[in-house]
Amino acid sequence: MREKLNSKNLLAVALLIIAVVLRLIPHMPNVAPITAIALFAGVYFTGAWAYILPLVVMIVSDIFLGFHSTMLFVYGSLILTVAIGHFVQSRKSPLTIAIGTLIGSILFFIITNFGVWLTTNWYGANFAGLVKCYQMAIPFFRNSLFGDIIYAAIFFGVYETFSVYSSKKINKEALWLKKS
């Protein structure tokens, strides 16, 4: 049983490393795996590690991509997405993962674009400017939502498939040992 847990943890860490690489290679604007990884970490990791791992992905990739004025908003939205993952964890199903992905995407959109409005002078410092900021971000939200759905399906699908395969393999080995 211990081997199964170790191999599942290694797969989870491998997926996080893949997330850094995917964020660094050229991709469509806002089609990145980070929100899906935050949800994934919330579902499969416990304690502080669930929150630390997606932030490490961001920090490592931001070292190469550059730091910016909205980082606290981005990182904060990811922390909330990890919390959504903790909620999904005890109710895990394809539907709750899809809903968690959607909520994470919406939160990311709301929080990070509020940060853009608050920390830049791109839009008026009034309600009309805030509305304009959200309107201008809608095409990026479409891309984010698309990426979040695709990456969540990949990460959760690979992990769950591996878990089922790993469980069957361990059960077959245990059955073989009983017969010996």
pLDDT in tens, 89-135: 999 999 999 999 999 999 999 999 999 999 999 999 999 999 999 99
Q: What is the pTM of this model?
A: 0.84
* CA atoms of 100 and 23, how far apart (whole Å): 21
**What is the reported pLDDT for 84?**
98
Contact 2, 46 (CB under 8 A): no
Rounded CA Rg of the chain: 19
Cα torsion for 85, 109, 138, 122, to the nearest 10°? -160
Q: Is residue 136 classed exposed, middle or buried when 0-12, 13-18 and 19+ CB atoms within 10 A define those classes?
A: middle
**What is the reported pLDDT for 3?**
44
Which tokens is 83 given?
Answer: 């919390």
Instruction: Provide the pLDDT confidence category of residue 2 given band limits of 50, 70 and 90.
Output: very low
Q: Residue 113 in 3-state DSSP?
A: helix
**What is the reported pLDDT for 7?**
67
Position with higher pLDDT, 99 vs 8: 99
